[in-house]
Structure 1
Amino acid sequence: MLLRVLCCQLGLIVLLGISPIATAALELTAEEKSYLSNREPVKFCVDPNWMPFEAIDKQGRYTGVSSDFMEEFARLLNIRLELVPTDNWSDSLNNAKQRVCDLLPMINISPEREQFLSFTEPYVSMPVVLISDQNTRYLDGLKSLEGHKLVIPAGYIFAEHVRDNFPQLDVQYADSLLESLRTVAKGEALATMATLPIALYQIERHGLGTLKISGHTNVNIELSIGVRNDDPLLASAFQKAVQALPIELHDQILARWYRVNVEQARDYTILLVLVALLSVIAAFLSYRNYSSRKFNAQLAKVNARLSDRNQRLEQLGKRDYLTGIYHRINMDSELEKDIDHCANQGQPLHVILFDLDNFSQINIEHSHPVGDLLLVEVSRLVEERLPDNTYFGRWGGDSFLVLCPQSSAEDTHKIAEVLHTTINCHRFSENVHLSATVAVATCHPHEHQSKLMKEIEQLIRDKKKEGPGQLTSLTIETTE
């Protein structure tokens, strides 16, 4: 249940298909090139305990999402990087203030930090949630914590937000997020704050299964590179590097670390189960002397739970952070399989692509947290109305794909009509009216995946010009 809740609430990444990455064009001025080639290695500090985003491991090595990004930025700029180790995030911030380090790879922008840092445009975005004990009721934002203790890692942007907007709250500061989580687990504070992927990692990695995601904060973390503000050439170079990073590579880095997190959580779970099993066996033999039959029955139950746990973790690796449905990488793979299967059977493949109308404007008018909530709501609504033999996932920011490999053309059109009517007539949260443009495509055997999706996406764009809430179809002839 914990993984399901985390998966359904997690808002970050629209994973795109993995393909060969073209070298991005980076246009530095002559002055920037000369400066970078002649300067000393760029010194940087990180949060040493902020996985999966960044950390310093027991061997003193820099790891995490930001390590992969910094490797790419260093390659683009042809510079050398030098890590300045610290014990905690507060020390890293202080080093940046004192010019001990030249930059911080992942940091949220704030007026206080702008006094000593220049910032690139954000390149990673995550929602912040409240985490509490399993027995805690739903927490309706930070205002619901009045009269209770909130623990926050010192130096985190959350602290500035709470201080400026909720000065009445009783706040305790910890040296790290892990310490904050353990404080909540021990009942010494009602809640803490964290971004959802980091909460997932820390809770699973450190066996804090008594904790849960208990509410939203309406805070969104926008992570940029913070460069010392007395070095404008270095700041402008990193801004250009962020802009030049290919979106496919950006999403592959995030997807790679997401899958690693799941595997680590699964391995840790196996270890815990095995240790628990050995303890059960020792106590069993020493004090209870149960029969071999009873022992085998208990062992079977443990193995069944372990198998179920691993299956859920494996499924999580295929799912979109925010909505819990299949993500773009998995949909790409499944679409390719379905095209090959239909080609072998000599049958056409039917797919449905639908795109939410004017969704960017909804995000602007109602805020991104509301937009995230609507995406989750649409996903649940559609899932409930799809037959079991379909495959449903997120194709883009506000577009969704349904694969119908076992459905006839007539049945696929009926499914599309149901989805079209359901979305356009449903009363969504926050009294937001949503509509969707829905397209049904029939792909004949031996058709190429890229041509199929290119043509159906173009059809969606063309129909949107006629107004919201369109329902249309096309047949793509074989290229052979």
Structure 2
Amino acid sequence: MAHERVVPRTAGKCVVAGFLVLALLVIFFVPAVSAVFSGDTEHWLTQADRHWISTHPVITIAPDPAFPPIEYFDDNGEYRGVASEYLTLIAQETGLTFKAVHCASWNEALQRVESHEIDALPAAAQTEERGQYLLFSEPLLIFPGVIITRQQVDQDLSLDDLAEMRVAVVQGYLWQEFISRDHPEITLDLVPDPVTGLRKVSLGMADAMVATLPVAIYYIEQEGITNLRVAGESGYFTRLSFASRNDWPQLNAIVRKALANIPQSEKDAITDKWINLGNTQHMSRRTLWIIIAISAVLVVTGLGFVAWTITLRRQIARRTATLRLSESRYRGLFEGLSDALFLETLDGKILDVNDSACKLLGYTRDEL
């Protein structure tokens, strides 16, 4: 007779309860996990955010055409640099599409975004003047403004040292606004781009240039301008942010939230990829002369030691030759005498004898 397994009613209720719990987990937990692992990044967007994005899917931007490695257009017309990669991440977070418009200069880019022909600037410094028509995100990057001079200028400089001098700055850059406001004694030479300013300083057409540190280093190396150096800091910093037209506060809020949602490790990876300042302390003329002087002293000291060694060797050689000559003369005199000569120690030990002594005694020199 077959045996049947009897399941208690209480056990059956537990099984049913377990299936109910499992079903609830599947209903509520699995979609959440799926959203996390599927890369769903819209969970932080509000309904109002999504509606605004749907009605403004394309955002026009005006990058600085000559601001590498922060942003620039390459030889193929492609938008590149740190800001470009930030926009790629923002687009992934929001679903927005960014369309880059190529302006002839940064000044043109500012004018077009102020007139709302362009919607945003990917990497713009925050200034009081720009705050009248732009809304800024939190800074993406912060860099000092540095003073570039020729190598002949051997001292460290600040803006206070540049009074009555001709200083190049790119037209529209924040350095123009800051220096005009705080240092009216400086004569500003407005140039269209960083390369023009650096070349003017290199050729002596300007006394100095104030520029953003990584951009200045990039162009000095890229253009092979070897007679320039970083002579000091301006005391100002550029805080580069995503800047959008002030009549679209929704765009500013969305970009701020998107940037906050990007892991810091991804932001650091972008910066490390594009910016490597290396050794920004270029050698001054004074430092160069100090090194040359120290090297000259070492060389002179070394040559003096070699000369002394050669002189000493020559003196030793001359004295050795004199001793040998004296010994030869002594030996000739010693052997030439007809009298028997004995050279002995105080205790009577014979050290040497002449031929006459050997003949007198009938022994060889070795025997004696």
Distance in 2 (alpha carbons) for counterparts of 1:123 and 1:196 = 15
Please point out which of 212, 219, 227 is paired with 2:236: 219
Distance in 2 (alpha carbons) for counterparts of 1:123 and 1:322 = 21
State TM-score, norm by structure 2. 0.63
Give 1:139 deviation, angstroms: 3.9
For the aligned residue pairs, the C-alpha RMSD in angstroms reads 2.1
Counterpart in the other structure of 2:103: 86
User: 5 Å matches for 1:372-387?
Assistant: none
Give 1:24 deviation, angstroms: 7.0
Give 1:147 deviation, angstroms: 2.1
Counterpart in the other structure of 1:167: 184
Distance in 2 (alpha carbons) for counterparts of 1:177 and 1:25 = 40
Please point out which of 51, 58, 81 is paired with 1:34: 51
| Partner SS, residue 200 of structure 1 | helix
Q: What letter is aligned with 2:98?
A: L
Counterpart in the other structure of 2:146: 129
**Residues paired across the two proteins, number:** 244
Among all aligned residue pairs of Structure 1 and Structure 2, give the percentage whose two residues are the same amino acid: 28
Counterpart in the other structure of 1:156: 173
1:24–1:36 distance in 2 versus 1, CA, 3 Å: closer
Distance in 1 (alpha carbons) for counterparts of 2:94 and 2:192 = 34
1:62–1:214 distance in 2 versus 1, CA, 3 Å: same
Give 1:322 deviation, angstroms: 8.2
| Partner SS, residue 101 of structure 1 | coil
Give 1:220 deviation, angstroms: 1.2
Distance in 1 (alpha carbons) for counterparts of 2:219 and 2:202 = 12
| Partner SS, residue 249 of structure 1 | helix
Counterpart in the other structure of 1:72: 89
Distance in 1 (alpha carbons) for counterparts of 2:41 and 2:224 = 41
Q: What letter is aligned with 1:182?
A: R
Distance in 1 (alpha carbons) for counterparts of 2:149 and 2:280 = 20
| Partner SS, residue 253 of structure 1 | helix
Counterpart in the other structure of 1:145: 162
Distance in 1 (alpha carbons) for counterparts of 2:280 and 2:220 = 18
Counterpart in the other structure of 1:243: 260
Q: What letter is aligned with 1:257?
A: W
Task: Structure 1 unaligned segments of length 5 or more: list them.
Answer: 1-21, 263-315, 324-480
Q: What letter is aligned with 2:84?
A: S
Distance in 2 (alpha carbons) for counterparts of 1:46 and 1:110 = 17
Distance in 1 (alpha carbons) for counterparts of 2:40 and 2:69 = 26
Retained in 2: the 8 A contact 1:130–1:139? no
Distance in 2 (alpha carbons) for counterparts of 1:208 and 1:37 = 49
| Partner SS, residue 45 of structure 2 | coil
Counterpart in the other structure of 1:252: 269
Counterpart in the other structure of 1:63: 80
Retained in 2: the 8 A contact 1:48–1:86? yes
Q: What letter is aligned with 2:154?
A: R
Please point out which of 195, 204, 213 is paired with 1:196: 213
Retained in 1: the 8 A contact 2:126–2:239? yes
1:322–1:239 distance in 2 versus 1, CA, 3 Å: farther
Please point out which of 248, 253, 265 is paired with 1:231: 248
Distance in 1 (alpha carbons) for counterparts of 2:156 and 2:164 = 13
1:23–1:65 distance in 2 versus 1, CA, 3 Å: farther
Per-residue displacement from partner, 1:148-178 (whole Å, max 9, x unpaired)?
1101100000000001100111111000011
Distance in 1 (alpha carbons) for counterparts of 2:280 and 2:107 = 30
1:176 matches 2:187: no
Counterpart in the other structure of 2:309: none
Distance in 2 (alpha carbons) for counterparts of 1:148 and 1:89 = 25
1:201–1:24 distance in 2 versus 1, CA, 3 Å: farther
Counterpart in the other structure of 2:10: none
Counterpart in the other structure of 1:429: none
Counterpart in the other structure of 1:53: 70
User: 5 Å matches for 1:428-447?
Assistant: none
Distance in 2 (alpha carbons) for counterparts of 1:241 and 1:116 = 22
Give 1:78 deviation, angstroms: 0.9
| Partner SS, residue 275 of structure 2 | helix
Retained in 1: the 8 A contact 2:113–2:121? yes
Distance in 1 (alpha carbons) for counterparts of 2:256 and 2:87 = 13
Retained in 1: the 8 A contact 2:60–2:120? yes
| Partner SS, residue 159 of structure 1 | helix
After TM superposition, which residue ranges in structure 1, 4 or more long, deviate above 6 angstroms?
Answer: 22-26
Counterpart in the other structure of 1:7: none
| Partner SS, residue 225 of structure 2 | coil
